[in-house]
Amino acid sequence: MSSSSVHYYEPRHGHGLPHDPFNAIIGPRPIGWIASVNLQGQRNLAPYSFFNGFNYHPPIIGFCSVGWKDSVANITATGEFVWNLATRELADAMNTSSASLPAGQDEFSFAGLTPIQGTRVAAHRVAESPVNFECKLTQCVRLLDAQGGLIDSWLVLGEVVAVHIDKKLLDEKGVYQTAAAHPILRAGGPSAYYGISDEQRFDKIRPDDRPKDG
């Protein structure tokens, strides 16, 4: 590929494009729809587009907050949170919950969602969501740049200690069907999301998992 056909930039000098492509390249990304409570029991619900799973056993998930927001403050104070699967059916409610509300206003109520008390944590689950992970905080890490300077961004990691799955998403063998939940995934630009479907599925067996001849 010739240099004339490549758009090159160094982020510290700007990207030179109509919109920063970083989010669009690392995507689509699952959504961290995070529920928490403060020490007084006030609920908070907010979506984070920098979210993913980081470990299998024990299961650890994490999200990054740009700025010290209510979710981070609540989780570091209580040590608990709930991740809720954002689906196509819940896209509007998820988006509504991202609004900057006055202190003390409940995003569950604002978005028309039903809170259910967690089983292992004080934070609430979104009842309408088909999958919920109740989590205990393991680490809250302030990010650094390449020079070791502090960034106003915080990586929150939590161990999943309880899982709730709508049985409709399990097939007759008990295998979770990813596409059946109609999860929504954040992409680039100010408004782009994507879904997934079984038509887009393909399978690959890793070399180490292939049957050995003989």
Q: Whole-model pTM?
A: 0.92
Maximum distance among all Cα pairs of the chain, rounded to whole angstroms: 67
The single-letter code of the amino acid at 7 is H
What is the predicted pLDDT for the residue at 27? 75
CATH code for the part of the protein at 23-197: 2.30.110.10
Mapped onto helix, strand or coil, the DSSP state of residue 34 is strand
Q: Give the integer Cα–Cα distance in Å for 83 and 157.
A: 11
Tokens of residue 128, six digits: 């309408």
What is the predicted pLDDT for the residue at 214? 54
Could you report the average pLDDT of every consecutive run of 10 residues in the chain (214 residues)?
82 89 83 97 97 95 97 98 98 97 91 97 98 97 97 97 96 94 93 94 90 72
Among 55, 34, 36, 62, CA closest to 121: 36
Per the CB < 8 A criterion, the answer to whether 69 and 46 are in contact is yes
